[in-house]
């Protein structure tokens, strides 16, 4: 018996849903991996901030509290959020040659960030010593 177009479409939908679910599971697992780094609070140097965080539907809401310049081990998803989503826009107003006013984002001001220590873990960066410079010839 030959499959109808409806059967073929249903089969493709089921396969694409399974593919989407496996990609989502992979992303969820990757974003739960712990990363170590320094929290920077640019908006209030020396300050502290608390916020709730929910990345994926069905996950419990997690509450985080960070102090400026402290070292933390947090999930990768939280680190990505701190580096990509914690800013506010400063708008600029312009006029085109016809005199029509417009608004655009002129600058993004970072409120906070997370600087990874994954590649510098265990190395004292404050030590002074001989400095080598690599040059390409």
Residue 110 CB: number of other CB atoms within 10 A? 14
Instruction: Please check whether residue 112 is in contact with residue 88, taking contact to mean a CB–CB distance below 8 angstroms.
Output: no
Indicate the pTM of the whole model.
Answer: 0.66
**Sign of the four-CA dihedral 41, 87, 32, 61:** positive
Domain residue extents for the chain: 33-116
Angstrom CA distances, 16 to 11, 21, 58, 80, stand at 9, 8, 21, 27
**For the segment 71-127, what is each residue's pLDDT rounded down to a tens digit?**
999 999 999 999 999 888 888 888 878 888 887 777 888 999 999 887 644 444 444
How many degrees, rounded to 5, is the angle at CA 130 between CA 129 and CA 136? 140
**For the segment 25-56, what is each residue's pLDDT rounded down to a tens digit?**
888 989 999 999 999 999 999 999 999 999 98
């Amino acid at each position: 018996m030959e499959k109808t177009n409806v059967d073929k479409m249903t089969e493709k939908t089921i396969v694409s849903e399974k593919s989407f679910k496996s990609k989502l599971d992979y992303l969820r697992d990757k974003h739960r991996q712990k990363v170590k780094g320094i929290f920077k609070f640019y908006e209030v140097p020396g300050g502290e901030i608390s916020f709730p965080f929910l990345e994926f539907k069905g996950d419990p809401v997690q509450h985080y509290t960070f102090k400026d310049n402290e070292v933390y081990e947090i999930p990768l998803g939280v680190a990505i959020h701190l580096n990509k989503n914690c800013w506010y826009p400063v708008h600029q107003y312009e006029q085109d040659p016809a005199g029509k006013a417009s608004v655009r984002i002129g600058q993004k001001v970072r409120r906070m960030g997370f600087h990874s220590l994954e590649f510098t873990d265990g190395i004292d960066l404050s030590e002074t010593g001989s400095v080598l410079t690599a040059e390409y010839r």
